């Protein structure tokens, strides 16, 4: 799940946990600069039925990209403007099963990859490090774009996918036409993660500390299905998903590298696991919290139960055309699946900024 900006004050952290992040004044759009960071409030249409468009998500394409063979959905006109949709943990490509057809019908070529360690995506070599550090996940996006000969795309994501989308926009802005990111600016660093949070905020990261132990690794490996379902409930407490919806995504966690990638990701954040030297330069740049200049729309659900920063804490990070939207009506941590129409509209609107 997303990083909290460790530079936030304790007061901000307390507001985050108490729901104070939702008490933001609503103002009309028409921003002249990111500093004003005005907010649009959007009432989302809740979806609680089983995913209706999952059939197209079973017809996966595969391509060799960097150290991976990436399995991905590819729908819409092949010559349409490309959109890449990135999922988070513990979720999978089915988060976008309703978003993707909406965008495809609007003329976009929509690409939804399984991240490393998920679904049918596989490492090409058994000798490759099962590395979950943020720079590696973001580099996978660039490698995928290169393999598919996509010079530039609209990139959107939430949770791990939101972080990767933000990193790509920060480090390779020439490859990003526009950005949609849930919970805003999620770029962090190992050094920043060493700063302790208020106790209430630390409590929300319980699973990160659990994963730091070998008991946690074993527990996740043994109980990943129930573990993921618990996270879904905590992160989206008002989303009444059914077993069929959850099970579509849970199958992706049976990937042979899933546990290694997840555990390494969270241990790396705490400085308990080493990354790969080839990503050192990228991580050094990210540790400076680089601005994001591409046109951006950030989203937040009004019932997000996962750790997330306050919108006003990251607005200044976006130096180009920028909007923030609050999705109301009980939307949690996974807006593309909980509010697919609103998420798809954000992608279309970001492309037009």
Per residue in 163-179, pLDDT tens?
Answer: 999 999 999 999 999 99
Quick one: pLDDT at residue 315?
Answer: 96
Predicted confidence band of residue 38 (pLDDT cuts 50, 70, 90): low
Is 125 strand, coil or helix? coil
Report the alpha-carbon distance of residue 206 to residue 313 in Å, rounded: 23
Give, as one character, the DSSP assignment of residue 28.
Answer: -
- Cβ atoms of 134 and 65 within 8 Å: the answer is no
Output the pTM of the full model: 0.88
List Cβ neighbours of 18 (8 Å cut-off, separation of 6 or more): none
Q: Does residue 94 have a pLDDT over 80?
A: yes
Predicted confidence band of residue 47 (pLDDT cuts 50, 70, 90): low
Per residue in 263-300, pLDDT tens?
Answer: 999 999 999 999 999 999 999 999 999 999 999 999 99
Environment class of 199 (CB within 10 Å of its CB; exposed 0-12, middle 13-18, buried 19+): exposed
Q: Does residue 26 have a pLDDT over 90?
A: no
Per residue in 119-178, pLDDT tens?
Answer: 999 999 999 999 999 999 999 999 999 999 999 999 999 999 999 999 999 999 999 999
Q: Percent of the chain beyond pLDDT 90?
A: 83
Mean pLDDT for 195-202 is: 93
Kind plus residue range of the DSSP H or E element containing 324 = strand 322-328
Mean pLDDT for 301-310 is: 95
Quick one: pLDDT at residue 23?
Answer: 27
Which residue's entry shows tokens 């526009």?
Answer: 178
- In the structure encoding, which two tokens stand for residue 316, read together? 């200044």
Quick one: pLDDT at residue 54?
Answer: 56
CA angle 265, 267, 271 (to 5 degrees): 115
Q: Helix (H) and strand (E) counts for the chain?
A: 13, 10
- Cβ atoms of 220 and 211 within 8 Å: the answer is yes
| CB-side neighbour CA atoms (13 Å) of 347 | 32
Q: Does residue 17 have a pLDDT over 60?
A: no
- In the structure encoding, which two tokens stand for residue 335, read together? 């807006």
Compute the mean pLDDT over every residue in the chain, rounded to the nearest whole number: 89
Environment class of 293 (CB within 10 Å of its CB; exposed 0-12, middle 13-18, buried 19+): middle
Q: Does residue 334 have a pLDDT over 60?
A: yes
Quick one: pLDDT at residue 4?
Answer: 43
Q: Percent of the chain beyond pLDDT 70?
A: 86
Quick one: pLDDT at residue 88?
Answer: 98
To the nearest 10 degrees (0 to 180), the angle between helices 214-235 and 258-269 is: 90
Quick one: pLDDT at residue 58?
Answer: 83
Quick one: pLDDT at residue 31?
Answer: 31
Mean pLDDT for 71-94 is: 98
């Amino acid at each position: 799940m997303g990083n909290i900006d460790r530079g936030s004050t304790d007061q901000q952290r307390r507001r985050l946990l108490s729901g104070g992040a939702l008490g933001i004044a609503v103002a009309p759009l028409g921003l002249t600069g990111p500093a004003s960071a005005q907010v649009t409030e959007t009432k989302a249409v809740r979806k609680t039925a089983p995913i209706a468009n999952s059939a197209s998500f079973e017809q996966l394409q595969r391509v060799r990209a960097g150290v991976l063979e990436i399995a991905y959905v590819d729908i819409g006109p092949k010559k349409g403007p490309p959109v890449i949709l990135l999922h988070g943990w513990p979720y999978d490509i089915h988060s976008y099963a309703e978003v993707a057809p909406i965008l495809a019908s609007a003329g976009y070529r929509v690409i939804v990859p399984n991240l490393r360690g998920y679904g049918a995506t596989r490492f090409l070599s058994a000798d490759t490090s099962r590395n979950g550090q943020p720079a590696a996940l973001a580099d996978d996006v660039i490698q995928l774009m290169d393999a598919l000969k996509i010079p530039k795309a609209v990139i959107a994501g939430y949770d791990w996918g939101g972080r990767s989308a933000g990193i790509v926009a920060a480090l390779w802005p020439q490859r990003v036409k526009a950005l949609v990111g849930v919970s805003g600016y999620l770029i962090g660093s190992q050094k920043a993660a060493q700063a302790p949070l208020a106790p209430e905020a630390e409590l929300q990261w319980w699973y990160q500390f659990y994963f730091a132990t070998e008991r946690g690794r074993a527990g996740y490996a043994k109980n990943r299905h129930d573990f993921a379902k618990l996270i879904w409930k905590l992160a989206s407490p008002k989303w009444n998903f059914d077993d069929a919806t959850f099970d579509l995504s849970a199958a992706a966690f049976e990937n042979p590298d899933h546990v290694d990638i997840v555990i390494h990701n969270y241990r790396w954040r705490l400085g308990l696991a080493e990354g790969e030297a080839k990503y050192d330069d990228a991580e050094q740049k990210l540790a400076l919290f680089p601005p994001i200049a591409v046109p951006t729309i950030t989203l937040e659900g009004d019932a997000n139960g996962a750790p997330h920063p306050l919108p006003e804490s990251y607005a200044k990070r976006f130096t180009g055309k920028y909007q923030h939207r609050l999705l109301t009506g009980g939307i949690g941590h996974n807006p593309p699946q909980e509010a697919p129409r609103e998420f798809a509209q954000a992608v279309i609107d970001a492309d037009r900024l």
